[in-house]
Structure 1
Amino acid sequence: MKLKKININLAKALEEQELAEPRAIQKQTFGTIKSGADCVIEAPKSEGKTTTIVINVIQRLEKAFQQSPRALIFVESKEKVQEMEELFEKYGNYTDLRVYGVHEKGDVDYDKNVISAGIDVLIGTPGKLNDMFATAGFDVNQLKMFVVDDAEALLKLRHDGKIVRISDSVQKSQRILFTDVLSARVESLADRIMTEPFVFEFADEENDQ
């Protein structure tokens, strides 16, 4: 994929998955996300938000390191957890990043054992992540990326308290919100957990052509 200073192995993996040309959301946000700045990114469904998350997490983390998660990703459902895990497997096949997903239907003790053994990327639903962070005692100071996918959908389900609670426990980390709609709820969440974030807004590429 033709992105400025993209990791060579990541670019190779993306091209093997026939992602040689970046979409607008990937091209225009790549440098800002790579810099570690906070971002709010609005784009319609099917415009590549989930792929953008995976690409940038792989780019920033690069390889396995220590034991505690360095990227935390909130998603709406078990299905979204599995979808993102599959994308990490496809686009991260030239890295040894350890990716693990949790949701309400998983086994709590098994999840804790896997995570305590060492992972780099933790994907999960807000309820499950909140429960695990409250009881497992993870070292949140290692987090480099705090990412919320489908923010508006999660806020409609009243998960804002769980997201804020975990965010408040993290002293320093890049925070990124992805959303279909830049609603008042999303703006309020950004105000609570971010400081002067960059805001990106994208229209439907197909409708713009």
Structure 2
Amino acid sequence: MFLKKINPNLSESLADAGLTEPTSLQKETFGTIKSGVDCVISAPSSEGKTTAIVINVIQRLEKEFQESPRALIIVSEKAKVLEVIELFKKYGNHTNLRVYGVHEKGDIDYDKNQISLGIDVLVGTPGRLSEMFSSAGFDVNQLKMFILDEASPILKLRHDTRIMRMSDGIAKTQRLFFTEEITERVESLADRIMIEPLFFDFDEEEDEEEYDDEETEEQNEE
């Protein structure tokens, strides 16, 4: 995949998986996310938001390191936890990053034991992650990335307080929100926990209109 200064091992994994062309979102936010600033990124599902999350986490963490997780990815439900883990297997096959997922249907004591053995990426639902944070299951100050996927539906279920509590327990980290729309709740939480966040809005209809305009111009030139 053509992304500026992408990790060679990650690039090889993406090529192996047949992912050679980035979406507008993946291309235009890659450098900004890599720089470590806080971002709120809004786009339709066709822009590959979850894939962008996985790509950027692999780029940032690169390889196994120490015991406590360095990236936290908050998702809506068990099915999404499993989806994200599969994407890490698919796009991280040339790294040794350790990825683990938690959700309400799992055994919390078992999860804590697995995490204590050492992981790099923790993926989970707001409820289960909140329980684990409150019981001090790991050193949150090692976190380099705090990511909320599908922010709008998660916040619609009133998980705001849980997410703020988790975020407030971290001294310093990059915070990223990915969402289909920037609602008042999304914007309010971003203002509450982020530092001068950058906002990106990728509108599918606008992209289609731009493509149609370019196609029309080419036809006129012919």
In the alignment, structure 1 residue 59 sits paired with structure 2 residue 59: yes
| Mapped partners of 1:91, 1:55: distance in 2 | 7
| Mapped partners of 1:136, 1:37: distance in 2 | 27
- Once the two structures are superposed, the pairs formed by residues 98-113 of structure 1 within 5 Å of their partners are 98-113=98-113
After superposition, give the CA deviation of every residue in 1:82-127 in whole Å (9 maximum; x if it has no partner).
Answer: 0000000000000000000000000111100000110000000000
**Cα offset for 1:45?**
2.0
- For 1:177, the equivalent position in structure 2 comes to 177
After superposition, give the CA deviation of every residue in 1:41-74 in whole Å (9 maximum; x if it has no partner).
Answer: 0001232000000000000000000000000000
Q: If the length of structure 2 is used for normalisation, what is the TM-score?
A: 0.92
- For 1:140, the equivalent position in structure 2 comes to 140
In the alignment, structure 1 residue 87 sits paired with structure 2 residue 84: no
**Cα offset for 1:138?**
1.3
- For 1:160, the equivalent position in structure 2 comes to 160
Give unmatched runs, 5+ long, in structure 2: 212-222
| Mapped partners of 1:34, 1:47: distance in 2 | 18
**Cα offset for 1:154?**
0.4
Contact 2:112 2:137 in 1 (8 A): no
AA at the equivalent of 2:13? A
Partner SS for 1:123:
strand
- Once the two structures are superposed, the pairs formed by residues 106-121 of structure 1 within 5 Å of their partners are 106-121=106-121
AA at the equivalent of 2:45? K
Q: If the length of structure 1 is used for normalisation, what is the TM-score?
A: 0.98
Contact 2:81 2:123 in 1 (8 A): yes
| Mapped partners of 1:165, 1:68: distance in 2 | 19
Partner SS for 2:112:
helix
Instruction: Report how many aligned residue pairs link the two structures.
Output: 209
AA at the equivalent of 1:22? P
Partner SS for 2:80:
helix
TM-align CA RMSD: 1.0
After superposition, give the CA deviation of every residue in 1:151-205 in whole Å (9 maximum; x if it has no partner).
Answer: 0010001111110000000010000000111111100000010011111110127
AA at the equivalent of 2:24? A
Contact 1:146 1:174 in 2 (8 A): yes
**Cα offset for 1:15?**
1.0
Contact 2:151 2:179 in 1 (8 A): yes
Contact 1:72 1:145 in 2 (8 A): yes
Contact 2:146 2:174 in 1 (8 A): yes
Contact 1:40 1:176 in 2 (8 A): yes
Percent identical among aligned pairs is: 67
- For 2:29, the equivalent position in structure 1 comes to 29
Larger radius of gyration: 2
- For 2:11, the equivalent position in structure 1 comes to 11
**Cα offset for 1:39?**
0.4
| Mapped partners of 1:86, 1:99: distance in 2 | 10
- For 2:186, the equivalent position in structure 1 comes to 186
Partner SS for 1:175:
strand
**Cα offset for 1:136?**
3.6
Give unmatched runs, 5+ long, in structure 1: none
Q: Structure 1 runs of 4+ off > 2 angstroms?
A: 205-209
